[in-house]
A and B are shown apart, each in its own frame.
Chain A
Amino acid sequence: MAINRNFRTCPSSGLVFHEPAEKLIRWNAVVAVVFLLVGGILAIGVTLTRWQAVHMLDASAFYQVLTAHGLNMLVFWIIFFEIAVLYFASSTLLRCRLATPGMAWTGFWLMILGALMNNYSVIRGDSSVMFTSYAPMGAHPTFYLGLILFAVGALIACFVFFGTLVVAKNERTYVGSVSLVTFGAITAAIIAVFTIASGAIILIPTLLWSLGLIEHIDSLMYRTIWWGFGHSSQQINVAAHVALWYAGAAIVFGAKPMSEKVSRAAFLLYILFLQLASAHHLLADPGLTSNWKIFNTSYAMYLAVLASMVHGLTVPGSIEVAQRLKGYNNGLFEWLRKAPWGNPAFAGIFLSIIIFGFLGGISGVMMGTEQLNLIIHNTIYVPGHFHATVATGTTLAFMAVTYFLIPTLFRRKIMFEPLAKYQPYLFGIGMAGVSLFMMGAGTLGVPRRHWDISFAGNVFGYEFPGAAWLMMGLTGVSALIAFAGGALYLAITVGSVFFGQKIETPGFKHVSAREGVGAVPAAAPDTPGAHAGIGAWGMVAPGTFVLALVFLASFVLYYFVNWKYLSTVWPLK
């Protein structure tokens, strides 16, 4: 059988690209960015309507736009980009051919078909059921069918990824174990399979119900299983963007993981415990016991939170070690002061780590605490939380990686480079504002997914405190800043990919697989004590440790502030 076994070596990064894989990575990334554009335009409608002083859309358009915004951002943009990441982490990082590119294209087209079909159902106007589409509120059958087709396509992509791992192992394209980034991608793919299975279990019966073939879908069953899909899909993001944090540290600084053992064990904890977090969404629901809620939402005693706290230390820690070895060894923070803040790949990754941890991580634990959930459930605090995790944590990490992929993968120079320096700051800080102000408004009781918190014309109207209105206004302003950052990202990436100056590869030629792969480099053993002489207090990364303690102090303080607040509301049992 004729298999295309063409490879090219990137002259700037030394990475080896398998041409069919490269094409798939490119197209998945391009389509992802198109959905980001669509979702971004819809975001304006959402945010300018919730900013009560502007109140742009009417109620029906608002709920429709909000549904489409959620789906295009949370599902289509992110999963398409993640498929690109999976192919990159397998074929490119393991220097091997991609398994069954034909199947991969089938998956790709199924995903496109599904995404278009789902968007079509929302455009029809009879499927404004939100991303969550809680039964017994029904949508048009194409809504569910679109999601199912998309999920099947994504599942095929996951298995192409697993197949590629087998190819690499059999053809011995690497020695020892896979790289840490690939390990993280494997974590993401395993979680993805679980996610898609949960999605199938609930969406297939719901599709049949919407067609009239099944009579009844229980609302509690729907919520329980649906969140196995809805929340788990966000856990794919966590695993994927943490893998990209490590990749970013490796690419920008040549950083090596502080300890392979610790980082890999933390990924393993994700596989074992992260899925339980889906139960967060059911804390205020009837029919489930407290024991069930406590066990699950603590991810079995917060073992997945532990894993995130570990990654939060080891990624910046590995950057610190790399910087100190380069000679920035003075004081606690010279390594950070002299970091390449003007490099968007670094700035994006670093902001992603900080904002994900401080805003997304801490608020996630608050919402996931059984009793604290009572003062948070379904308020706008919830979107505040996930704009910190998904929009800043995941999306900003993906944006940062793009600045590396454009020259290596698309072989184009970055356009508007002076502006690109500011892009991560505009988007990251704007989005951090969005998250923070939404959380503030949520603490004051403002509901999510609500067209009019002024309750105009209602005899039973309620007036939210002025601070809540102010927070919603500030959310709008921050969203516009984030939007400018997002628009800049789209202008830079689309501009560079289509009109950027071509990077010519001297002596570029197609070669057969074995030669193309070249000699597998023998792993150079680490010199023991290579870290001697850096750091302070017997630690190689004391600066990161101090940052971690600042994080812990904010976490502890905010945690108990919330318990204090809870203790003042009406007794309930």
Chain B
Amino acid sequence: MSAILPPSERVWWKQPLDRVELIWIVIALVWCLIMFFMMPYWHVYGKQNLANEAFRTTPAEFLKKTEAMIAQHKVREEGAQGQKVPVVAPPAGSDVYLVARLWQWYPILELESGKSYRIHLMSMDWLHGFSLQPENINIEVHPGYDHVLTVTPTHKGTYSIICNEYCGINHHTMISKLYVK
């Protein structure tokens, strides 16, 4: 009986299955398990994992920490006249704060290649998307959640941070630089 008619055997669950199906189910199951174990495996042996570290906080408090960091480690300013953004060069291993807000990343970071930094990401208003190009590392940025990532830049150069979570009419203008020395 075809698939649009009731099964011919009332007790259909006792129908034997063909060899082709059995072999395929075994192969597919083994492959599925390999894919499953790849994720914990990478947590142990791989180098690219997101931390479980995140804190609830308020935009005001996060901004205060950011301003304190800027006051301490600011090296220069960049950007168009009237919209200058500070560039900060925080010491290796320190806590680095990056604010996402409509429609700006604040401040610009200058990091050292081969050194690790604890980067804190948070939004002041809506959702934003941290997208580091051309590395192509992409992380969701929430308001109220301070997301901590320990990052180690591997190559010197000028990188761009673009926003890849739609955040309103000027979403496409939300872009910034990140320098690795």
Chain A residues at the B interface, C-beta cutoff of 8 Å: 59-60, 63, 93, 128, 130, 134, 136-137, 174-181, 218-220, 223, 246-247, 249-251, 254-262, 264, 282-287, 289-290, 294, 298, 301-303, 305-306, 309-310, 313-314, 317-318, 365, 369-371, 373-379, 443-445, 447-453, 455, 458-462, 464-465, 523-526, 531, 535, 538-542, 544-545, 548, 552, 555-556, 559, 563, 566-567, 569-573
Contacts and interface: CB of A to CB of B under 8 A. Distances in A.
B3 A538 contact: no
A533 B178 CA distance: 67
B6 A523 contact: yes
A176 B6 CA distance: 7
Nearest to B12: A260
A287 B56 CA distance: 9
14 contacts: A59-B172, A137-B126, A178-B6, A179-B5, A181-B4, A219-B126, A259-B21, A284-B138, A290-B50, A374-B50, A377-B138, A462-B162, A524-B8, A572-B49
Contact of A258 (B21, B145, B160): B21
Interface in B122-166: 123, 125-127, 129, 131-140, 142-147, 149-154, 160, 162-166
A179 B12 CA distance: 11
Contacts of B131: 378-379, 445, 447
Contact of B142 (A257, A264, A286): A286
Majority SS at the chain A contact face: loop
A176 B7 contact: yes
Given A262-B21, A444-B134, A572-B151, 8 more contacts: A250-B2, A256-B1, A260-B7, A365-B35, A449-B164, A458-B175, A523-B10, A552-B31
A305 to B, nearest CB: 6
Contacts, number: 323
Majority SS at the chain B contact face: mixed
What class of interface size applies to chain B in its complex with A?
35 or more
Contacts of B133: 445, 462, 464
A292 to B, nearest CB: 9
A452 B172 contact: yes
A447 B162 contact: yes
B128 to A, nearest CB: 10
A545 B3 contact: no
Contacts of B170: 59
B3 A250 contact: yes
Contacts of B43: 290
B160 A137 contact: no
